[in-house]
Structure 1
Amino acid sequence: MARDARIELDFADGTHSFRLGWGELATLQEECDAGPYMILHRLHSHQWRVQDIANVIRLGLVGGGMPPADALRKVRNYVEKRPPLESHPVAIAVISAGLLGAPEEPVGEPEAPIPEVA
């Protein structure tokens, strides 16, 4: 199974696919003027900036397959017009999956079957 860091989350008006691949992480780094791990640290340590939350969610939606204009519209309506702490857990889940892999993705090689003894 490929580890592509894709997660499905309930957000806004339904369940959406989020993924922060290499390209989205590079864009996030430029737009937030911080590396992805620093953004995760800021989100966990209560030193985040509002653009950290909005950009993680927007780029995660784009990486998950949503057209950029739709992702921007969704973030404007469901993130920027709402209290930031409402979207904070979504941002943490999306960037964590992008950096560490999705929780349901197995790590390592599958175990070999145990041979039967006759």
Structure 2
Amino acid sequence: MTDRITLRAFFGDAERAFTLTDPMLTELERLTGLGTGALYAQLVNMAFPVQVLAQVIRLGLIGAGMTPEEAKHLCAAYAENRPLAEVFPLAFAILDARWSGVEVKP
């Protein structure tokens, strides 16, 4: 059950679901070479490598059920080569949903 860790947010041209499931967290750790806690601390302290933002978004989309191809396409269109001030809030919210959970509406 992933309701408590699924963020719903606007991305690109529609509202989408983002879930960093256990396999997606493992992949994020592999890609970044960091544990989840260290990565979270980097984002909180604004000390992250730029590619992490698109990776968090892409893996969140895949974890919520999107195909890897579609997630890659959306990130190429709406997360890469964009102002960091646009991309950071969503990437942080996705990781924070996994860290702190989200409120589930009845």
Map 1:1-118; keep pairs closer than 5 Å. 3-102=3-102, 104-105=103-104
- For residue 3 of structure 1, report the CA deviation from its aligned partner: 4.8
Where structure 1 has 5 or more consecutive residues not aligned to the other structure, the ranges are 107-118
Alpha-carbon spacing, 1:2–1:82, altered in 2? closer, same or farther (3 Å): closer
Q: Which amino acid aligns with 1:37?
A: G
The structure, 1 or 2, with the larger RCO (C-alpha pairs under 8 Å, 6+ apart) is: 2
Superposed displacement of residue 15, structure 1: 0.3
User: TM-score when scaled to structure 2?
Assistant: 0.90
> Quick one: distance in 1 between partners of 2:68 and 2:47?
27
Q: Distance in 2 between matches of 1:58 and 1:27?
A: 11
Pair member with larger Rg: 1
Distance 1:3 1:83 in 2: 30
Query: What are the Cα deviations for residues 47-74 of structure 1, in whole angstroms up to 9, with x where unaligned?
Result: 0111210110000000111110000011
**Contact conserved, 1:4 with 1:21, CA < 8 A, in 2?**
no
- 5+ residue gaps, structure 2, are none
C-alpha distance 84-2 of structure 1, shift in aligned 2 (>3 A): closer
Give the residue type in structure 2 aligned to 1:76: A
1:21 is displaced (CA, Å) by 0.9
**Count of residues paired in the alignment:** 105
* Aligned structure 1 segments of 4 or more residues deviating by more than 2 angstroms: 1-4
- Identity among equivalent positions (%) equals 32
Cα distance between partner residues in 2 of 1:94 and 1:85: 15
> The residue matched to 2:77 in structure 1 has which SS?
helix
* Cα distance change on mapping 1:21 and 1:2 into 2, 3 Å: closer
How much is the aligned-residue C-alpha RMSD, in angstroms?
A: 1.7
- 1:19 and 1:98 in contact (8 A); partners too: yes
20-29 or 79-88, larger mean C-alpha shift: 79-88
